[in-house]
Amino acid sequence: MEMRKSKGTFIVLEGGDSTGKNTQMELLKEYFGTKEFLYTEEPGGSRLGDKIREWVTAQEEYPMCMEAELLLFSASRAQHVHEKIAPALSLGVHVICSRFSLSTIAYQLYGREELKYLEAFFHIDQFAVGQTKPNLYILLDGMPNVLRARQEMLGFAKDRIENETMAFHERVRAGYIAALPPAPYGVCIDADRPIEEIKKDLVAIIGATVSNVHTPTFHHHVHQPVVRGFPFDSSAKEPVW
């Protein structure tokens, strides 16, 4: 008789624009392969999510209000979880996702200076993802001015959100640091380093996490990131966000 597989591990790679998430996702795919891992991203991950991604990133003539932006990201996340993430985890597949709920906190609540919607978002997010919550958030942290210079040097076209002011991206970084769950649910590593050094850290952290062993030390420059103002049950086996 075939033994039923245990539930997979859900890991989220977070960070501001141009912190190298896409590059690292490709390197992780090369290293860990696709037999026991699923690699996905937000907004997107489903046909509906891909359409929402077009809406929220397009440079439109008419601005999108924050409320609509937040709800669209949450709608994309709900479909993503239902269609791809939860089924994979139930089969024992480990999921590595670029962006999840923490991005909405950092961009829509901190970046847009709308922390008054925090409690509302908590309930929206709970409704959208249910019990499918990350086992680990890995924050690739970089200085916004360095990241903007990197983006311009590489000649990447900016979408609607990437094209926001430097002050906006500074607030986004502050939001990430403030809302990153404490260890063992959240770790922060320095993204202003060579790609191979970051990959080495990620491989060690992810390998330890899926093997259920102690998370190794890593190179970081944010001291004791904690949750400030966000609901978090330290006694729970899984994080809130």
Q: Check residue 47 and give its pLDDT.
A: 92
pLDDT band at 61, cuts 50/70/90? low
Lowest mean pLDDT among 57-66, 67-76, 106-115, 217-226: 217-226
Identify which has the larger pLDDT, 30 or 62. Answer: 30
Delineate the domains of the chain, giving CATH numbers in brackets.
Answer: 10-210 (3.40.50.300)
Q: Check residue 227 and give its pLDDT.
A: 35
pLDDT band at 213, cuts 50/70/90? low
Cβ contacts of residue 44 below 8 Å, gap of 6+? 50, 52, 53, 76, 80
C-alpha distances out from residue 220 to 8, 73, 115, 124, 145, Å: 27, 29, 27, 32, 18
125-139 per-residue burial string, b: 16 or more CB within 10 A, e: under 16: beebbeebbbbbbbb
Predicted TM-score (pTM) of the model is 0.84
β-pair partners for 10 = 95
Q: Check residue 59 and give its pLDDT.
A: 64
Three-class secondary structure of residue 180 per DSSP = coil
Report the distance separating Cα 52 and Cα 17, nearest Å: 18
Whether 161 and 168 have beta carbons less than 8 Å apart is answered as no
The answer to whether residue 169 scores a pLDDT higher than 50 is yes
Tens-digit pLDDT profile for residues 80-107 = 999 999 999 999 999 999 999 999 999 9
Q: What is the mean pLDDT of the chain?
A: 84
